[in-house]
Amino acid sequence: MLSKVYEWLRAADLKPDDGMVTSRTKAVKDLENRIRDAKDYNLLLGSVTAAVGGCERLGQQSPVFGTLLDCIRGQQPAFPGALSENSLHLRMLCCLSLGELLSTGDDDESDDEIMAASLLVAGLWLKPKEAGRHLDEVLDELAHVARTNLQKQAVALRKRQSLDWNDFESLDSITADQAAFNQKLLPTLKGLISALEMERRSDREELEVMWWLYNGYSDRLAKHLKPTTSFLAAIAVGCEIADRVSPPAMVGLNELVAQAAVRDRTAAQIKAKRIDKIVAEIGDVGHKLLLPSAEHVRTFARGAGPLLPLTWLSIRLEESQAASGWQAELQSKTGWAADRELGPSELSAQVFAERQAQRVYQSRMKA
């Protein structure tokens, strides 16, 4: 997003001068390169957390904070080191570097890209508005970049290819040479079987999603969703479709999920409710639906409230047995207020995004 350096910097400084734009452009490339070259995801995850929730989430003693500071000071030595003075500038550095990471990659799936994009989509999908003249515009544009990247990777993952029989048919010409025939047979068969398996997986995924949407039967709840309360059904829709689709999902699935959450519901049933009212309505059964299956994903989600707000809430309710006080913690840990209102469609789409992000994190991080 180097083309956006000036515009996005206005969220931290209303009138960035040429010198600031030049130095930040170099700092953005420096951070992007460090993220790509890192041997683990710590810098990437810290940058995503800072972009979505602010650098205050990192803390001034965080190694990631130190790296961000180093990237800017490499171009602008006279840059303040206090978080109270530099938090917005460092946050914009993260936004710009992540935007560059997601907009300049090649067509091949990148672990850095899918991890960053999945968490950004989950964290920015329904993110509450923040104070600041240009900040929300920056976050909206970054969310668009993340969705575009996921769509590109989703299309590449599901690209249908015609089977190439040339290698298989060419075996006829070497049947007399048994050694050459044997040497070429196995790779040829593997290639054909691999292509057929890719087709089978794509077909199976589409059929499973279509049948689930048609039947409206929740395996997790062990019942049809129509007689189920609308918000419990919404969570089940988001979770179970996300579990049937290999990440990254096609962008259009979010709309299908949102529509499925309100299908055959009356206007009264789909009326938005406060989060605390939703929690009371769905009960223990509901908040358990979004719990991560792997402990290392739970550990990550506990400290990544701004990225996975509903997952954080599910874990908090489960581990405390829904003890009081979660409302204030929700605000401080995720930025979401307990009196915020959500409709079933919004809830279901957010659950879908978070479950997909959970799966990406689980598949790419060691337990």
13 and 151 share one domain:
yes
Domain membership of residue 355 as a residue range: 216-364
151 and 224 share one domain:
no
225 and 306 share one domain:
yes
- 116 belongs to a structural domain: yes
Tell which phi-psi region holds residue 335, choosing left (phi > 0), alpha (psi between -120 and 50) or beta: left
Closest alpha carbon to 356 in 143, 151, 115 = 115
28 and 140 share one domain:
yes
Please tell me the least confidently modeled range out of 26-35, 91-100, 161-170: 161-170
351 and 248 share one domain:
yes
The first and second tokens of residue 65, run together, are 């904070």
Angle at 108 between CA 107 and CA 112, to 5 degrees: 110
Residue 159 belongs to what H/E stretch? none
> What confidence score (pLDDT) does residue 224 get?
94
The first and second tokens of residue 131, run together, are 């104070």
129 and 255 share one domain:
no
The total number of structural domains in the chain stands at: 2
End of a domain among 133, 157, 181?
A: 157
- The mean pLDDT value of the chain amounts to 91
367 has pLDDT over 60? no
153 and 220 share one domain:
no
Cα distance between residue 303 and residue 119, in whole Å:
13
> What confidence score (pLDDT) does residue 162 get?
67
Cα distance between residue 306 and residue 17, in whole Å:
31
Higher pLDDT, 204 or 240: 240
191: amino acid identity, one letter: G
Cα distance between residue 149 and residue 126, in whole Å:
19
> What confidence score (pLDDT) does residue 116 get?
97
259 and 125 share one domain:
no
163 has pLDDT over 90? no
62 and 149 share one domain:
yes
- 152 belongs to a structural domain: yes
Cα dihedral across residues 90, 96, 99, 101: positive or negative: negative
130 and 14 share one domain:
yes
- 184 belongs to a structural domain: no
Coil, strand, or helix at residue 273?
strand
Strands 341-342 and 273-274: antiparallel
Cα–Cα distances in angstroms (integers) from residue 272 to residues 16, 310, 327, 328, 350, in the given order: 41, 16, 18, 21, 14
Residue 59 CA, distance from chain mean position: 23
- 209 belongs to a structural domain: no
- 169 belongs to a structural domain: no
- 198 belongs to a structural domain: no
- 207 belongs to a structural domain: no
End of a domain among 108, 140, 157?
A: 157
6 and 153 share one domain:
yes
- 66 belongs to a structural domain: yes
Enumerate the β-bridge partners of residue 341: 274
Coil, strand, or helix at residue 38?
coil
End of a domain among 157, 190, 225?
A: 157
> What confidence score (pLDDT) does residue 200 get?
72
User: What confidence tens digit (pLDDT) does each residue in 310-345 have?
Assistant: 999 999 999 998 888 999 999 999 999 999 999 999
Closest alpha carbon to 44 in 53, 33, 59 = 33
pLDDT above 90 coverage of the chain, percent: 71
122 and 241 share one domain:
no
User: 186 falls in which pLDDT band (50, 70, 90)?
Assistant: confident
